Amino acid sequence: MIKSETVKQILEHYRVIWALSHAQALLGWDSETYMPEEGIKGRAVARAEIAQLIQRFMLEEKFVKLIEKAEEEKDLTDVERGIIRVLKRDLKFYQKVPPEIVKEFTKVTSEAFIAWRGAKEKAKFDIFAPYLERIVELSRVIADKLGYEEHPYDALLDLYEEGLTSRDVESVFSVLEPGIRKLLGKLESIGWPKSHKLEEEPYDKTKMEAAIREVLELVGYPKGRFRIDISPHPFTIGITTPFDVRITVRYRGVDFKEPLFSALHEYGHALYELNVDESLAMTPVGTGVSLGVHESQSRFMENVIGRSREFVEKIAPILRKHLDFLSKYGNDDLFYYFNVVRPSLIRTEADEVTYNLHILLRYKLERLMITGEVKVNQLPELWNSEMERLLGVRPKNDAEGVLQDVHWSHGSIGYFPTYTLGNVVAAMIYYKHGRIRSLVAEGNITAIKEYLREKIHKWGSVYPPKELLMRSFGEAYNAEYLVKYLEEKYS
């Protein structure tokens, strides 16, 4: 797939950068799973130093000149053009953002995660606020260094979803917000379940773990390239895509759908990384193209497949085998339990219908933080007020309000809108394919996975997200599909 001698030289140099990124991924996974809390004192420094090393290797004059030379070559393959595009994006960041900013950002976010975890446990935003203030300040600097046409937030959006702008996000929410509000009114009138007894049913963690592993076996997870662990906030990380991909799940001991659908969600992410064409491994295009496209895969697995009636029929025997209390509940009970709709406080526990209103809140606050129109110390009250306006519920404390998400401690400002893009693209895939439910009913998950591999997974980052979606589905980020999907399923 690589014909250009120049690109071959680029990949030879890039192998060291990839190795350092591999180490960063492993250190990050350990920080959120097994590292003792005080280990952060050394871990933050180590990760900051590695971040600087990556920048140094990226900016080596010989490497930069090779990229510039390759960019001028004619007859590059799509893969070669993708490699140069991704490296040019990386170079833009490293050339424009000073090394001292990269180092401080890495160090602050490593420390901030530990502060956030402690703040959330104590429900005290003040513990985390100083770290977030510095993260916001550094994010403003990064946005200014990278440049933007209309809004500084656009520079941060582009880091997570190439080419995404506030205009794109606004166009999506302009369709979703009224569509969701209208649907919520319909559900109120037809009496769609707002709660279910199973939400209060305690479960045994060991039995739940066994059930999840068997459900994942049903959808075909590759044991030799995949592992499941526990963390405060479920996540997926590709250590060596597509050969070592890891997910985590959280167990609270009650409401078993939470760990079940967290596992299916993270498996969707993992499946994307596991299905990237092996020829792209250890190259700049050997991973998922963007967080929005990535989220479409997790939401597709979690919601479109996982919460469907057809999938309930397939997994009900597995769940009853491991969870004794389900003997008194039928499959209809499971379906409605999995699809309860009600305004709630916690994003990760939100239903399909209300979920995107949680994202709308975060999107608005992030934009205001970046412009300085909202100060960090104002966030708890603004968060609570906006939750009340959008969803009619108000957090009792910071843990179930402004501190509920880990993302800001990672410095991931500009990330949240990609969750909604993921929901939009998942609905697009559902309609573009046309036979998803019948394939699930047949138990033919393999055919669905092959479709996703051909349309999205195998390409890694060869094409930018909008181009990939246009090539595979003929359009990008059309929110009308999501409104249609929700209306058809729920009303």
For 119-158, what is each residue's pLDDT tens digit?
999 999 999 999 999 999 999 999 999 999 999 999 999 9
Predicted pLDDT of residue 491: 79
> What's the mean per-residue pLDDT of the chain?
96
Residue whose pair of structure tokens reads 């502060």 in the numeric block: 115
17 pLDDT tier (thresholds 50, 70, 90): very high
- First-to-last alpha carbon distance for the chain, in angstroms, is 48
Tens digit of pLDDT for each residue in 400-452? Answer: 999 999 999 999 999 999 999 999 999 999 999 999 999 999 999 999 999 99
Residue 242 preceded by cis peptide, ω within 30: yes
pLDDT at 86 > cutoff 90: yes
227 pLDDT tier (thresholds 50, 70, 90): very high
3-state secondary structure at position 419: helix
- Give residue 377's identity as a one-letter amino acid code: N
Query: What's 214's domain CATH number?
Result: 1.10.1370.30
Asked whether residue 214 falls in the same domain as residue 353, the answer is yes
Residue 61 marked as a ligand binder? no
Asked whether residue 53 falls in the same domain as residue 134, the answer is yes
Output the CA–CA distances (angstroms, integers) from residue 187 to 176, 194, 356, 438, in the order listed: 16, 9, 17, 26
241 pLDDT tier (thresholds 50, 70, 90): confident
Could you list the active site residues?
A: 266
Question: Which of 91, 124, 151 lies at the terminal end of a domain, its last residue?
Answer: 151
Beta bridge partners of 227: 246
Locate 282 and state its tokens.
Answer: 């250890």
Q: Is residue 158 part of a domain?
A: no
For range 47-66, the mean pLDDT: 94
Distance between CA atoms of 121 and 132, rounded to whole angstroms? Answer: 17
Rounded to 5 degrees, what angle do the CA atoms 12, 99, 164 make?
80
For range 202-226, the mean pLDDT: 96
Asked whether residue 18 falls in the same domain as residue 108, the answer is yes
Question: Which of 128, 151, 174 lies at the terminal end of a domain, its last residue?
Answer: 151
pLDDT at 212 > cutoff 90: yes
Q: Is residue 159 part of a domain?
A: no
For range 92-96, the mean pLDDT: 92
Predicted pLDDT of residue 233: 78
Asked whether residue 121 falls in the same domain as residue 244, the answer is no
Distance between CA atoms of 462 and 468, rounded to whole angstroms? Answer: 8
Locate 322 and state its tokens.
Answer: 């491991």
Q: Is residue 97 part of a domain?
A: yes
Say how many C-beta atoms besides its own lie within 10 A of residue 355's C-beta. 20
Distance between CA atoms of 408 and 134, rounded to whole angstroms? Answer: 11
Residue 270 near residue 220, CB atoms below 8 Å: no
Reported as half-sphere exposure (CB side, CA atoms, 13 A), residue 127 has a value of 17
Cβ-based burial of 322 (10 A; exposed 0-12, middle 13-18, buried ≥19) = buried
The tally of domains found in the chain comes to 2
Q: Is residue 161 part of a domain?
A: no
Asked whether residue 320 falls in the same domain as residue 390, the answer is yes
Asked whether residue 135 falls in the same domain as residue 179, the answer is no
363: closest CA among 154, 130, 98, 150?
154
Predicted pLDDT of residue 348: 84
Tens digit of pLDDT for each residue in 278-319? Answer: 999 999 999 999 999 999 999 999 999 999 999 999 999 999
Asked whether residue 123 falls in the same domain as residue 216, the answer is no
Asked whether residue 385 falls in the same domain as residue 344, the answer is yes
Residue 295 marked as a ligand binder? yes
7: closest CA among 293, 317, 284, 329?
284
Output the CA–CA distances (angstroms, integers) from residue 318 to 206, 261, 325, in the order listed: 14, 15, 13
DSSP annotation of 423 reads H
Q: Is residue 254 part of a domain?
A: yes
Rounded to 5 degrees, what angle do the CA atoms 375, 376, 379 make?
95
237 pLDDT tier (thresholds 50, 70, 90): very high
Asked whether residue 331 falls in the same domain as residue 467, the answer is yes
pLDDT at 195 > cutoff 80: yes
Residue 269 marked as a ligand binder? yes
Asked whether residue 92 falls in the same domain as residue 46, the answer is yes
Asked whether residue 192 falls in the same domain as residue 319, the answer is yes
Q: Is residue 160 part of a domain?
A: no
Asked whether residue 120 falls in the same domain as residue 208, the answer is no
For range 212-225, the mean pLDDT: 95
Distance between CA atoms of 195 and 337, rounded to whole angstroms? Answer: 7
Range of the domain at 446: 166-490
221 pLDDT tier (thresholds 50, 70, 90): very high
Question: Which of 126, 151, 176 lies at the terminal end of a domain, its last residue?
Answer: 151
Q: Is residue 319 part of a domain?
A: yes
Element at 471 (helix H, strand E): helix 465-473
Percent of the chain clearing pLDDT 90 (strictly above): 95
1 pLDDT tier (thresholds 50, 70, 90): confident
3-state secondary structure at position 347: helix
Q: Is residue 312 part of a domain?
A: yes
Tens digit of pLDDT for each residue in 346-384? Answer: 998 899 999 999 999 999 999 999 999 999 999 999 999
